[in-house]
């Protein structure tokens, strides 16, 4: 798209946004040009908090399915639009409510903690949600000693390092974060010996072991701003580097692996946002009985607050 076409489409998006009293929420992994026009760019928890308190008529959610669904669960009176209907999180698809119900029967005394990267149906079967920024805080806030942690085994195992509770991790994972290998970090360290290695807890345990700091995308943003360090090796989806570079022009960022791209997060573009606003699509709704149960799990998490 030429710069002129881009400017034109941005102008039309902004006009439609005003006419419809809409806001654009974008996850930190979205394309840079989407981040640049969004009203709020953040991590999963920050976006959920925004969705819960916004006073707009329409939310255009630029992320993946579970994020738009969470906004629809928290704001049933608003129209939640997802520009690309097929932008699904493969990790969220690694668990079904039926499988979770079976596992709950095996561990009747355990609490179920669902990472927000889950469907509304799975959230409805869970006691409380968490994000990568508050997983440890959420698990430690529970009365139960045993926790079924779904669906990310890596976040579950990372949380186990900081709790005395017994975590039973589901066998799910993020294929994007699995692209990052310990060898990538070691090679990058050789090239940039002064850089701090900051990785996401969705990374494999072997990657966590060789990192300096482990944070959610929102936690990375705050940490890097405050840090005295000038160079960083970032182990998460590469979209995060746009945000970090923009907010910290005096610092240098290297991706731990250039292959850490989430194709689903990259499905939305300026054109699909324009079409979403103009044609009111794709509207995300959740059946009311499921919504109420899923909201309880999200509300409990929102009460627990941020961990990093």
Binding residues for ligand SF4 (CB under 6 A): 29, 64, 89-91, 117, 174-176, 237, 262, 264-265
Q: Minimal distance in Å, beta carbon 243 to ligand SF4?
A: 14
Cα separation, 254 vs 192, whole angstroms: 9
Q: Minimal distance in Å, beta carbon 18 to ligand SF4?
A: 30
Strands (E), 116-176: 128-130, 146-150, 166-169
Cα separation, 296 vs 288, whole angstroms: 13
Residue (75 or 264) nearer to ligand 13P, CB: 264
65 CB-contact burial (10 Å; exposed 0-12 / middle 13-18 / buried 19+):
buried
Cα separation, 293 vs 263, whole angstroms: 30
DSSP 8-class letter at 78 = S
Q: Is 50 in the site for ligand 13P (CB under 6 A)?
A: no
Phi-psi region of 145 (alpha: psi -120 to 50; beta: other; left: phi over 0): alpha
Choose the one of ligand SF4, ligand 13P, none that binds residue 264, judging by a C-beta under 5 to 8 angstroms depending on kind.
ligand SF4
Scanning the structure block, which residue is given the tokens 């997802």?
A: 82
Residue (13 or 180) nearer to ligand 13P, CB: 180
Q: Minimal distance in Å, beta carbon 162 to ligand 13P?
A: 17
Cα separation, 148 vs 199, whole angstroms: 24
Residue (127 or 237) nearer to ligand SF4, CB: 237
Rg (CA), the chain: 19
Residue (9 or 265) nearer to ligand 13P, CB: 265
Chosen residue from 30, 35, 44, 70 binding ligand 13P by CB under 6 A = 44
Q: Minimal distance in Å, beta carbon 180 to ligand SF4?
A: 11
Cα separation, 36 vs 258, whole angstroms: 22
Q: Minimal distance in Å, beta carbon 44 to ligand 13P?
A: 3
Residue (76 or 205) nearer to ligand SF4, CB: 205
Q: Is 154 in the site for ligand 13P (CB under 6 A)?
A: no
Residue (119 or 132) nearer to ligand 13P, CB: 132
Q: Give contact residues for ligand 13P (rule: CB under 6 A).
A: 28, 43-45, 89, 117, 131-133, 174, 200, 202, 216-217
């Amino acid at each position: 798209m030429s710069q002129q076409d881009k400017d034109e489409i941005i102008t039309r998006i902004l006009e439609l946004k005003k006419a419809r009293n809409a806001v654009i929420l974008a996850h930190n992994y979205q394309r840079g040009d989407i981040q640049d026009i969004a009203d709020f760019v953040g991590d999963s928890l920050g976006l959920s908090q925004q969705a819960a308190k916004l006073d707009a008529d329409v939310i255009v959610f630029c992320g993946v399915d579970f994020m738009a669904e969470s906004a629809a669960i928290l704001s049933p009176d608003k129209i939640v639009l997802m520009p690309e209907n097929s932008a699904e999180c493969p990790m969220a698809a690694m668990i079904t409510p039926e499988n979770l119900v079976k596992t709950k029967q095996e561990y009747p005394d355990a609490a179920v903690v669902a990472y927000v990267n889950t469907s509304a149906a799975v959230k409805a079967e869970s006691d409380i949600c968490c994000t990568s920024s508050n997983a440890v805080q959420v698990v430690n806030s529970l009365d139960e000693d045993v926790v079924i942690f779904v669906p990310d085994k890596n976040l579950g195992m990372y949380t186990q390092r900081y709790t005395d509770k017994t975590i039973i991790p589901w066998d799910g994972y993020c294929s994007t974060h699995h692209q990052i290998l310990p060898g990538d970090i070691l090679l990058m360290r050789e090239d940039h010996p002064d850089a701090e290695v900051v990785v996401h807890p969705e990374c494999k345990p072997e990657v966590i072991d060789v990192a300096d700091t482990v944070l959610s995308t929102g936690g990375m943003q705050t940490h890097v701003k405050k840090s005295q360090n000038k160079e960083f090796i970032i182990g998460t989806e590469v979209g995060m580097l746009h945000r970090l570079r923009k907010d910290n022009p005096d610092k240098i960022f290297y991706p731990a692996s250039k292959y850490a791209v989430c194709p689903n997060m990259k499905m939305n573009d300026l054109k699909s946002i324009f079409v979403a606003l103009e044609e009111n699509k794709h509207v995300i709704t959740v059946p009311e009985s499921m919504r109420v149960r899923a909201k309880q799990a999200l509300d409990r998490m929102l009460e627990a607050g941020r961990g990093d």
